[in-house]
């Protein structure tokens, strides 16, 4: 068991910077996922911790020791690989005991440890089998046993579940969490699958383009993303983004406006370009939004495509009917909004409807820098009370529970 | 065009199926539901082997006549005592020629040299090929250039390389001795192919030069099939580079080794052209191999039956090399 600290880690290849000034401290016994799109530098970061790649700059500490220049075998790490990487010419026992035999442990000790490891991953009675006689899940267990058997200070797992089928993957996720509880060892886990990261880790490190974007517990990353990238990457389907201008009354987007006092938004002044972010589950049909504390003004929309998922329905909304419908990049166009509704909702395609956003779940980002400015605008007061004219005022009022918002107005 | 062909094929297949196994209207096969017993003749007639006769029979006949027929005829000749002008006498067959072989000192020398060539040439080529493959595989610069350079000698004909090496080995003007003398190692300079003690090894050296590139290419393909993670896993588990190759990587190259061994050994048996071009039909007892001896005995001395017996020994040796390989491939389901 040990803590892992990366200080100013940078890895440059000839003309690419794979990892850019990475500073991470992973606590003893913590399960941390490095998550990001392909090529973001998460695997390189792990290879640097393992010692398979030398960083161009920076220092790696495992425990209190500077291991930057140590070879992999002297770092007290064990690794589980994406394609499992069992040695095909060795049986399970030989695979698991490989590291111990290289280190010249005595036979009794090897036997004891291999049996213990096989016991943990439930491989009893399979020690004589060859890798090609086993299923994908069993092979992955062998790979994990091979890591356990060496009693490492740190486990490094590089997308270990990526090659398994969907059902087995979900099962192995639970197994890995159980394993973490049992062994209580530091685990660094690389994945591009944000769902895997969300479900398993104590903290998620979101990486993009070689830079650490945010490292926080899963729900913080979900509810308070540090920037546009994290907001878009964590959560499936992804968050809706609508660009607009900050005005004296709030945010003005091409199809709707959201009212709040702009002076309450830190680091932004009237006239700035902001991006509004809202998750699909925080968009509501107006007549169903009754039990929300505060919502925005109703937004005119037309339903486009419905995707019933069983436990929910994804509804693609067009905000401006006259604009061209674009299927690709639907979430990036200001004209579309994705809403998730419960499966019992009466809703049809090509239907005119009104939707509202949950003000407590509206995120505001600086469009240029991508930095998050505000999470939830429910406690930002409206512009100046009484000065409102016309329709868009109800947004700032606290709504009573129950339906009938129309009568209230 | 496409649908027409598909329809025609479907019709053809329907006709070729035995009547009791016609397609049902729902697209399934009506097997067994009709109780009509299938006669053995009809079963045979509709079997794949019989139905495919137009495809396999002509090439099988050609191969059978020109290859296996010739092998059989050679065997038959080896049982006669045919020599000189005239026709073989097929009435009195005996193993007389084979009985003579063990006592023939020239056969014994040729047999011994063939085995030495087989083992030494194959072993050294594999070892050099493996080392080259590992070096070339380590992400070096100009990898493709090196690969081509190493493989190039194999593209040359034995005739070219034999002439070229006989110049290299020339005791006075040959590059090897000139270089040795140039760096002050006059003592080592020698008449490489003139001296009976070095002659066979000079041949093996030249052949190794020509075929190591082939072993390298086979090993390189094998190495490319091993995922990077195996190297990384071995390193993380604590293996030094040497141990990583010895215990993790090389054992995974066994399939590549077997196929390279078979090809190299067969080449060694066929090294006839190289030696024939270098020395003519009589390289002397120190470098004689069975293939050259067979030619000399049959075509220079017209001892047809004796030459045929030598050829049969050579054939059995080739069979002994290839058969286990084919059997293993067959067991793996690769044939």
Secondary structure of B61-79 as H, E, C letters: HHHHHHHHHHHHHHHHHHC
Chain B residue numbers touching A103 (CB-CB < 8 A) = 238
Predicted structure pTM score: 0.73
Interchain CB distance below 8 Å, A89 and B254 = yes
CA B78 to chain CA mean position, Å: 24
Q: Is the peptide bond before A237 cis (omega within 30 degrees of 0)?
A: yes
CA torsion angle A102 A104 A109 A114 (round to 10) = 10
Q: Which ranges of B194-303 does DSSP label H, i.e. alpha helix? A: 196-224, 228-236, 241-243, 254-269, 272-279, 290-295
Interchain CB distance below 8 Å, B252 and A87 = yes
- Residues B230, B235, B241, B247, CA torsion sign: negative
In CATH terms, B104-331 corresponds, of 1.10.1040.10, 3.30.70.260, 3.10.50.40, 1.10.3720.10, to 1.10.3720.10
> How many CB pairs below 8 A link A and B?
58
User: Which of A51, A83, A102 is facing B237, going by the closest CB pair?
Assistant: A102
- Residues B127, B132, B133, B139, CA torsion sign: positive
CA A259 to chain CA mean position, Å: 30
User: Which of A47, A89, A146 is facing B251, going by the closest CB pair?
Assistant: A89
ipTM tops the 0.90 cut: no
Interchain CB distance below 8 Å, B237 and A150 = yes
Confirm or reject contact between B89 and chain A (CB < 8 A): no
Interchain CB distance below 8 Å, A81 and B232 = yes
User: Which of A52, A103, A150 is facing B235, going by the closest CB pair?
Assistant: A52
- Residue in chain A closest to B253 (alpha carbons) equals A89
Residue A294's pLDDT is 84
Secondary structure of residue B220 in the 3-state scheme: helix
Confirm or reject contact between B236 and chain A (CB < 8 A): yes
Residue A307's pLDDT is 92
Confirm or reject contact between B233 and chain A (CB < 8 A): yes
Chain A residue numbers touching B233 (CB-CB < 8 A) = 79, 81, 85, 87, 146
CATH number of A4-233: 3.40.50.300
The CATH topology of domain A240-408 is OB fold (Dihydrolipoamide Acetyltransferase, E2P) (2.40.50)
- Whether the Cβ atoms of residue A312 and residue A341 lie closer than 8 Å to each other: yes
Our CA-based measurement puts residue B129 at a distance from the nearest CA of chain A, in whole angstroms, of 22
Q: Please classify residue A132 by burial: count the beta carbons closer than 10 Å to its beta carbon, then call 0-12 exposed, 13-18 middle and 19+ buried.
A: exposed
User: Which of B227, B230, B236 is facing A73, going by the closest CB pair?
Assistant: B236
Interchain CB distance below 8 Å, B248 and A73 = no
Positions of chain B with pLDDT under 50: 1-2, 23-24, 27-33
Residue A404's pLDDT is 36
Cα–Cα distance list, A149 to A79, A121, A126, A220, A238 (Å): 11, 11, 16, 34, 40
Token couple for A313: 């329905």
Interchain CB distance below 8 Å, B237 and A52 = no
Residue B40's pLDDT is 83
Our CA-based measurement puts residue A89 at a distance from the nearest CA of chain B, in whole angstroms, of 6
Confirm or reject contact between B230 and chain A (CB < 8 A): yes
Give the whole-angstrom CA distance, residue B148 versus residue A199.
51
User: Which of B229, B247, B251 is facing A85, going by the closest CB pair?
Assistant: B229
- Residue in chain A closest to B248 (alpha carbons) equals A87
Total Cβ atoms within 10 A of residue A406: 11
Task: Report chain A (409 residues): mean pLDDT per 10 consecutive residues.
Answer: 89 90 93 92 92 92 91 90 87 92 90 90 88 88 90 90 84 88 91 90 93 94 94 91 90 88 87 92 88 85 90 89 55 75 89 91 92 87 45 36 36
Confirm or reject contact between B238 and chain A (CB < 8 A): yes
Q: Phi and psi of B175, rounded to 5°?
A: -55, -40
Cα–Cα distance list, A308 to A289, A345, A346, A396 (Å): 20, 11, 12, 32
Our CA-based measurement puts residue B254 at a distance from the nearest CA of chain A, in whole angstroms, of 10
Our CA-based measurement puts residue B236 at a distance from the nearest CA of chain A, in whole angstroms, of 5
Contacts of A264 (CB under 8 A, 6+ apart): A374, A380, A381
Chain B residue numbers touching A79 (CB-CB < 8 A) = 232-233, 236
Cα–Cα distance list, A263 to A267, A273, A296 (Å): 9, 14, 19
Interchain CB distance below 8 Å, B229 and A82 = yes
**Which of B222, B236, B245 to probe the A interface (max A CBs under 10 A)?**
B236
């Amino acid at each position: 068991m040990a803590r892992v600290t990366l200080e100013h880690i940078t890895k440059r290849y000839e003309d690419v910077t794979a990892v850019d000034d990475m500073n991470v401290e992973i606590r003893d016994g913590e399960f941390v996922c490095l998550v990001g799109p392909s090529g973001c530098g998460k695997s390189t970061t792990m290879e640097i911790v393992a010692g398979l790649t030398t960083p161009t700059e920076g220092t790696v500490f495992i425990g209190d020791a500077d291991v930057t220049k140590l070879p992999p075998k002297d770092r007290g790490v064990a690794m589980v690989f994406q394609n499992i990487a069992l040695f095909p010419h060795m049986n399970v026992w030989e695979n698991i005991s490989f590291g111990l035999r290289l280190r010249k442990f005595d036979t009794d000790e090897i036997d004891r440890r291999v049996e213990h490891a096989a016991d943990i991953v439930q491989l009893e009675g399979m020690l004589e089998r060859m890798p090609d006689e086993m299923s994908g899940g069993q092979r992955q267990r062998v790979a994990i046993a091979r890591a356990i058997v060496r009693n490492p200070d740190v486990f490094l797992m590089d997308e270990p579940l990526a090659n398994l089928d969907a059902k087995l993957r979900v099962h192995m996720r639970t197994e890995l969490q159980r394993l973490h509880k049992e062994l209580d060892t530091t685990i660094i886990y690389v994945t591009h699958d944000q769902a895997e990261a969300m479900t398993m880790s104590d903290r998620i490190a979101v990486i993009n383009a070689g830079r650490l974007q945010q490292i926080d517990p899963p729900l913080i990353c979900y509810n308070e993303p540090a920037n546009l990238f994290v907001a878009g990457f964590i959560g499936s389907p992804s968050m809706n983004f609508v660009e607009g201008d900050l005005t004296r009354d709030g945010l003005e987007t091409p199809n709707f406006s959201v009212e709040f006092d702009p002076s309450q938004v830190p680091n932004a002044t009237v006239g700035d370009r902001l991006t509004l972010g809202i998750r699909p589950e925080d968009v509501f049909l107006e007549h169903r939004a009754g039990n929300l504390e505060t919502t925005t003004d109703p937004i005119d929309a037309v339903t486009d495509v419905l995707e019933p998922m069983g436990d929910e329905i994804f509804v693609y909304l067009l905000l401006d009917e006259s604009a061209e419908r674009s299927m690709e990049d639907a979430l990036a166009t200001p004209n579309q909004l994705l809403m998730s509704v419960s499966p019992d909702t009466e809703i049809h395609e090509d239907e005119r409807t009104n939707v509202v956003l949950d003000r407590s779940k509206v995120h505001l980002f600086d469009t240029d820098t991508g930095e998050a400015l505000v999470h939830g605008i429910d406690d930002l007061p409206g512009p100046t009370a009484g000065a409102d004219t016309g329709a868009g005022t109800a947004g700032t009022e606290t709504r009573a529970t129950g339906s009938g918002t129309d009568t209230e107005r | 065009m496409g649908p027409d062909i598909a329809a025609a094929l479907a019709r053809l297949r329907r006709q070729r199926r035995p009547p009791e196994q016609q397609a049902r209207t729902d697209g399934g096969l009506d097997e067994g539901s009709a109780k009509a017993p299938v006669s053995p003749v009809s079963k045979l007639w509709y079997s794949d082997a019989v139905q495919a006769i137009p495809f396999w029979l002509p090439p099988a006949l050609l191969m059978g006549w020109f290859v296996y027929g010739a092998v059989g005829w050679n065997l038959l000749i080896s049982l006669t005592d045919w020599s000189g002008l005239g026709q073989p006498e097929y009435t009195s067959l005996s193993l007389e020629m084979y009985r003579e072989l063990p006592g023939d000192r020239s056969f014994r020398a040729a047999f011994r040299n063939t085995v030495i060539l087989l083992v030494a040439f194959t072993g050294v080529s594999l070892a050099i090929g493996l080392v080259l493959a590992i070096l070339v595989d380590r992400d070096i610069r100009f990898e493709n250039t090196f690969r081509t350079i190493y493989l190039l000698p194999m593209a040359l004909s034995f005739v070219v390389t034999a002439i070229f090496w006989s110049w290299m080995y020339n005791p006075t003007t040959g590059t090897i001795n000139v270089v040795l003398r140039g760096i002050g190692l006059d003592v080592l300079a020698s008449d490489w192919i003139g001296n009976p003690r070095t002659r066979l090894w000079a041949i093996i050296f030249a052949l190794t030069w020509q075929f190591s590139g082939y072993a390298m290419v086979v090993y390189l393909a094998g190495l490319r099939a091993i995922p990077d993670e195996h190297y990384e896993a071995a390193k993380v588990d604590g293996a030094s580079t040497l141990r990583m190759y010895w215990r993790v990587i090389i054992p995974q190259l066994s399939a590549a080794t077997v196929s390279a061994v078979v090809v190299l050994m067969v080449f060694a048996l066929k090294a006839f052209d190289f030696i024939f071009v270098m020395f003519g039909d009589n390289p002397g007892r120190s470098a004689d191999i069975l293939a050259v001896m067979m030619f000399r005995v049959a075509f220079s001395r017209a001892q047809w039956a004796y030459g045929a017996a030598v050829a049969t020994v050579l054939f059995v040796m080739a069979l002994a090399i290839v058969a286990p390989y084919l059997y293993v491939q067959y067991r793996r389901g690769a044939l």
